């Protein structure tokens, strides 16, 4: 019953792929545009936390799931 209410493995894989793609786009943007000021730092911190946290959470859930 542990996994009854959580997301399925397919959804976790989708979230993980989306998060890795988002982190890759953010890195690409930083490499091509660079840091433009305090607003860019704020955006990078928020986006990095969101995509990084989603990737870690999804990967942990996929590794923990017994299905």
Across the range 48-62, mean pLDDT stands at 95
3-state secondary structure of 37: coil
C-alpha 33/C-alpha 64 separation (Å) is 38
CA distance 55 to 44: 16
Q: Domain-by-domain residue ranges, the chain?
A: 9-64
Mean pLDDT, the chain, integer? 87
- pTM comes to 0.80
Res. 52: pLDDT tops 80: yes
Q: Does position 32 have pLDDT exceeding 50, yes or no?
A: yes
The per-residue pLDDT for 50 is 95
| Average confidence (pLDDT) over 1-26 | 87
Does the pLDDT value for residue 2 go beyond 60?
A: no
């Amino acid at each position: 019953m542990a996994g009854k209410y959580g997301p399925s493995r397919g959804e976790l894989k989708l979230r993980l792929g989306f998060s890795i793609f988002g982190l890759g786009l953010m890195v690409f943007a930083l490499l091509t545009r660079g840091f433009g000021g305090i607003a860019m730092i704020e955006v990078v911190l928020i986006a990095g936390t969101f995509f990084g946290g989603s990737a870690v959470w999804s990967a942990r859930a996929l590794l923990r799931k017994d299905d």
